[in-house]
Chain A
Amino acid sequence: MLTIPCPFCGERDEAEFRYGGEALQEIPQAGASDAEWADYLFNRDNPKGLVHERWCHSYGCNQWFQVVRDTVTHRIHAVYRVGEARPVLDDVDGASADTGG
């Protein structure tokens, strides 16, 4: 069971949220090749460890935001709003790997 701290509403049960996959995929420039589009649309880092991902508080404020979560321990290390700078993670001792991005 995840307890996700929505940056707008505070800590809520995972059942209120919708998972939106990995964040920080960079949109290709106009004129990008098929391979670059395929990489953007489909390929994922899918790290075993820290991942930046999007969640939507669909049964709350319905806002999208970003979560830094460990995919092995499920521990949430940080949340931040869309447009905010990526948080600097000092405390990653509990993280499963150093794949912070």
Chain B
Amino acid sequence: MAILSLAWKSLLNRRFTALLTVVAIALSVALLVGVERLRTEARESFANTLSGTDLIVGARSGPVQLLLYAVFRIGDATNNISWKSYQDIADLPKVAWAVPISLGDSHRGFRVLGTTPAYFEHYRYARDRELEITDGQRFSDLYDAVLGAEVAEKLGYRIGGSIIVAHGASDVSFARHDDKPFQVVGILARTGTPVDRTVHVSLEAIEAIHVDWQSGAPIPGMSISAEQARALDLTPKAITAALVGLKSKIATFQVQRFVNDYPEEPLSAILPGVALSQLWNLIGIAENALLIVSAFVVVVGLFGMLTALLTSLNERRREMAILRSVGARPGHVFALIMGEAGVLTLLGVLCGLSLLYLLLLAGQPIIESRFGIFIAIGGLSPYEWILLGTVVAAGFLVGSIPSYRAYRLSLADGLSVRI
């Protein structure tokens, strides 16, 4: 205790260099834990791009491929599902709800998704958050469209605006459904998921714009106007995929087996969480690199402390001799420098954590609205405790270098002061 209070007073005496050392350690610790926190939250947020959905059903393919086109709107479906198959699955007693989705068209680079109003009820992301409409309402008329946040922002659309849907993923003039324009009736809040980059219309609308089309081109000589189309039966013949919610999660594998063994058509059912983490493993390598870089920043911070303590030793040899003269053992001298290293490291870690939590509190709303990543401000996770423990242990390890040097010096100098 006596030695610790000496160490504390000694640091106070050199408070400027001590403060700089603490700041360096604090910044590096804030960076390390901050990167770890962001990384976890990004992974969590990615894994929850689609939550609340128990199964995704599509034409037979690999899970990642189905996930890519059904959720991330990347690439195209290998095949469609017939409306009858969809209904068979939706009517299973264990199925609580099913939302059909139909993809294929686009608007100025953004995918158009045909679905039912149930989509807005059952789509969940980031730990069970619902889609929110910031402006306007859900689609109710045949030619209504609800835009994702990014679509509205990038293209500058407002409620009441008119948009033309193009056939296929690329927007070329000869393949536009320009006879049946849509009206923007709603704009969604930002989610940080592919929903932001999607134009949502009703399933019937997808059917309506294609009634006079065949094999990706308008049927020559046949033209059905937007108003005439309203009178037709617009029940789709096929959809791209379906999101399925079950009454009980216990039935997941049972329903999955039913879909995979469906006799009339080759289908696949995938668990979105499993497929999402498979996908993250492919793209999540960068996060590890980030964590390694921030670990090196901590090492640099601790080297700052090492330099500060080592350079102070020579001018402190007289102090060591005085301490020896009043009865301090070389071990006390070791403990004194070790105590200083310990105080610097612990203060650095504490300040770093406080700084991080301040930043999180200030940045939480901004990160959420910009990137759709919701960062929960909770206690430290076990992994973060391990990281902090490692930093403190490394601090003591680094501190033992100048401490040992001081020990050797005071052993050699004794009571004589050599400078």
Q: Does A pair with B?
A: no
